[in-house]
Structure 1
């Protein structure tokens, strides 16, 4: 009997989940089980996070992979300390503004969008600093899934088909080159048809995207993961895999070189935070745009919300807060050392109060202020000792750049697309600089104790999703599952917003009256996909997983 695996005729309700000794929450059941397997073997929350992350790189190649970037927030209970890891990569030495002369914006595909990948270094560094098991043990579930095959889940199949169509359209564009500028764009994006050949060879079945329920295998990926595990990722940055990346880049006129990979190290950073109604909300500092969440919360602190969550006035105020926060982060956020304003200035509460005064009864077009004063796949894990990890990793746009290193299963991300070509912009492209980054893990503390980890994936929806989940938890006293299930909105640009079709009927009309250009959407895959694990006051953990993806919580 055949089933319509993409059908969602009736709404399903998920109950909040409780765990006694530990939990793994993520967007793919196979990855959640991989993390649970590690917990049962005696690994800690960090080991489980590495195992889950590596498995996601295999089972959700549409969102992340070995050639992407990562961030982590790690709570170590014995130290009562939150650590931050920035494993995003920088621009190669040859990635200068002059290299893109003739273009108005950075390319989406091809080597021109590829910065140094950080994911393998994140796995190795997390394991080295906090892990109890070996890196090989942690990567073994992912290796087995790559070698023996895994089930392709419905949302992954949908995104896979989108990428297949996207790269197929690229091939058609190459055939239709007419002007020198078009030729220049294609040369920087793709060079020629052969650069996409390896993607079609590696990530298709009989030259087609796999369907939901299909089994997909990638022996090349399994061998690469084994090499990363055995060498603690040294092969990727300073060995054989680095040589392969260098060779492929040179073949197609790319910018990344082995010397760039050799230079790269992940960075341990001090998390940034703001206090929102008694809770410390923690994020990775720029170049990530987690600061957008904190700025929006600071502005919201200056406003009054209705007790009932789903009112036109509440949603209007929250949208306006997010618009103003985004206006600033999009202008100023880049590599922290290259920002023209400081984090402290952007998070200054006096500045937030000044921004809040711009919010009126009608929607406004957001403009950046001047904050001078005297921002994928997500997972979270926990263990019996109280350690917790909030981890996010991404190829940025689905599979990323479309560039696959032959015989490795490595799809390189396109994070360089986020750079600006405006020489006066803080985020202008330049060698060894990290671009504005959209992936943001979140963490909540109170009185120097861990409350829990949370995150919402989805590019520029991430701060908006986090903002809504946090207000659901703190302002409207929802449990983790309710906080994720609640209908969402998304600011797109200017006056344009999207709201989910399960919001109350009066919301759309009410927001239109306030000047918003409202689109009601039924396809929720782009409205954020989150996970939450919080400490339960009675011991253990209370968890929620996203209804908008193939989410799963594995409990121990």
Structure 2
């Protein structure tokens, strides 16, 4: 979505944040109606949605309610360049509220993403996987080798956060620490649950971010919040051409570290 819009070269430009915000809103708004597995999702709708993005103004989208979820993320890369991007989320706090009696492990509740409506893209059925908010990421080079491993918690804000970090890392060539620690925006729908886009009430930016006034000028309702956990706990490992690894743990996280040996 964003690639076809040509974001400004300077991440401090309000137009940079505006195009990302609009891409996230446009790409995610139809999520409940079309998202499931690649074989059945009409990916061509992305081009139609992109055409609705105004580079100078916020686009109108209808609203609907949201719901919460719970997530944690970690990543690792070994000496051979094998990377793991791992995310765990029970959904709805304690998930399904069903526990395995011998270990006490509780079962997740990601089946809430299914639909019981016949013909729905997320219709429940044998071998089907439910749509969800989780998006642990692996970034590869054109030759297929691993470039980066990253992910975050944050409900529907996860792709919004990763969009900002990946753009900073690849397009603006920032270091992992700079890309992860930089100010962020997120769509503010009351929480970062499962359908933030449809409950879209505006954009929330971290205090100190350079885009607030410019986004307001483009028609976005903008709020500010303290630099902190509401904007995700993102972690990143970058595999440099030299073979060295560079990692960063989100300074927003109450507990988190980038470790190597």
Tell me the TM-score range normalised by the shorter chain: 0.7 to 0.9
Q: Distance in 2 between matches of 1:307 and 1:431?
A: 46
Q: Which position in structure 1 is the counterpart of 2:90?
A: 395
Q: Which position in structure 2 is the counterpart of 1:206?
A: none
Q: Distance in 1 between matches of 2:164 and 2:209?
A: 14
Displacement of 1:500:
1.3
Over alpha carbons, which structure has the higher Rg?
1
SS at match of 1:325: helix
Contact 2:26 2:53 in 1 (8 A): no
Q: 1:102-501 maps to which residues of 2 (within 5 A)? A: 299-336=1-38, 339=40, 341-342=41-42, 346=43, 352-360=46-54, 361-366=56-61, 376-423=71-118, 425-430=120-125, 433-448=128-143, 449-491=145-187, 492=189, 493-501=199-207
Contact 2:183 2:227 in 1 (8 A): no
The two structures, once aligned, show a CA RMSD in angstroms of 2.4
User: Using CA pairs below 8 Å that are at least 6 residues apart, which structure has the higher relative contact order?
Assistant: 1
Q: Distance in 2 between matches of 1:513 and 1:326?
A: 23
Q: Which position in structure 2 is the counterpart of 1:509?
A: 213
Contact 1:365 1:494 in 2 (8 A): no
Q: Distance in 2 between matches of 1:508 and 1:409?
A: 46
Structure 1 portions without partners, runs of 5+: 1-298, 368-375
Given the superposition, is the C-alpha separation of residues 503 and 523 from structure 1 closer, same or farther in structure 2, using an over 3 Å criterion? closer
> Could you give the per-residue CA deviations for residues 483-535 of structure 1, whole angstroms, max 9, x where no partner exists?
1111111113334222112313xx32332232222221226323221111111
> Could you give the per-residue CA deviations for residues 411-433 of structure 1, whole angstroms, max 9, x where no partner exists?
22221222335445322445654
Q: TM-score, normalised by structure 2?
A: 0.81
User: Between Structure 1 and Structure 2, how many residues are aligned?
Assistant: 240
Q: TM-score, normalised by structure 1?
A: 0.40
Q: Distance in 2 between matches of 1:451 and 1:387?
A: 11
